[in-house]
Amino acid sequence: MDSKWKERLVGPVVSLPTFNDDKYNLLLDRQRIHVRWLIDQGISEGNGVLLISGGVGETYMLNDDEYFHLVDLLTDEVKRTVPTMVMISETGARRAAMKAKYAADAGIDYVLLSPPHYSSPTEDDIFLHHEYVNGEADIGIMVYNSFWVIPNGYEFSAGLFDRLASLENVISVKWSSSNFNNYIGMVKHFKDRFAFIDNMSMYSYGHRAGMKGFIDMFGNAVPRLSLHMWNLLKEKKYDEYDRLWLKIKGEPLMKPSLASDPSWSSVGDAWHALTYLKLLGLDAGPAMPGQAPPSIEYIEHANKILEAGGMKDWSDWDSDLFNK
């Protein structure tokens, strides 16, 4: 795959929510309005990626028709003015490849490919899963190194990364392990082969080592803040970035009441992301059924976090856009 595809993977990777009503019907008109707004706010080539049907978008809850509709919507709205990505989380390589081929044919640039889950895969299983999709679909692949997407947790070894580097379309890694030393070491060692995207918000250390961007949920409502933080990284204003990160995300999120709230351990990220986005003014609807909603105490605490960190001051989302 041409090296330009790896080079385009930079900046905030905005993981879009899936807009739906209280009966879980997709609200595609609202989805379109939100995508257009993000582009108008500055998410663009060289300054971000739009990720649809990711963790925030509940990829693990969507049926095939919903997945196809969201893929088509994103490519139709973006028209290649912004790099696009879709997440694929399947237990089997054939279904993963089917979705990857659909995304490639529709014009999506990248897939975020989760390891096969349910069966506690070995490193051989993980490699073969990626090898099969790599051979079936002509699309850039971001591998998902995460301890929460497969049973018992997992972290890719250097040997597995070496094997994945032999696959032409595998060009990027989403890093979601909290092992700091391993993260920095892997980025330094493999940065010339993979575009590393941070999902752990480890201050500026990742970018210093060679990280190219970060997964971004808050950017759905505060893209101005996300782009400001990305510019600080590009300009290597690391001390300023770290101070802002600590104020907005770091110190408040370290409060123990988050982890102690039972709703924190409900299925997936969706309710948590949707709660924060709604408090920032962006109401994408409820999470899909089968997931325990957050408690009142959790919502109140989340609001205090946003207020204490000053994130609400960065919110430019106008809910009246849905009525125009």
pLDDT in tens, the chain (324 residues): 667 788 999 999 999 999 999 999 999 999 999 999 999 999 999 999 999 999 999 998 999 999 999 999 999 999 888 999 999 999 899 999 999 999 999 999 999 999 887 777 888 999 999 999 999 999 999 999 876 655 555 678 899 999 999 999 999 999 887 778 888 999 999 999 999 999 877 778 899 999 999 999 999 999 999 999 999 999 999 999 999 988 887 555 544 444 455 545 543 568 889 999 999 999 999 999 988 888 888 888 889 889 888 999 999 998 889 987
Number of domains in the chain: 1
Pairing type for strands 84-88 and 140-146 reads unpaired
* CA distances to 16, 165, 257, 309 from 223, in Å: 12, 32, 27, 16
Is 245 inside any structural domain?
no
Q: What global pTM score does this model have?
A: 0.93
Is 159 inside any structural domain?
yes
For CA atoms 177, 179, 183, 184, give the dihedral sign.
Answer: positive
Is 287 inside any structural domain?
no
Kindly report the CATH number assigned to the domain that includes residue 139. 3.20.20.70
Q: Taking a C-beta distance cutoff of 8 angstroms, is the pair 112, 85 a contact?
A: yes
Is 302 inside any structural domain?
no
Is 80 inside any structural domain?
yes
What is the C-alpha to C-alpha distance for residues 122 and 154, in angstroms, rounded to an integer? 10
Is 259 inside any structural domain?
no
What is the C-alpha to C-alpha distance for residues 283 and 290, in angstroms, rounded to an integer? 20
Is 109 inside any structural domain?
yes
Q: Which domain holds residue 23?
A: 4-235
Is 301 inside any structural domain?
no
CA-derived radius of gyration, the chain: 18
> Residue 275: CA atoms inside 13 Å, Cβ hemisphere, count?
21
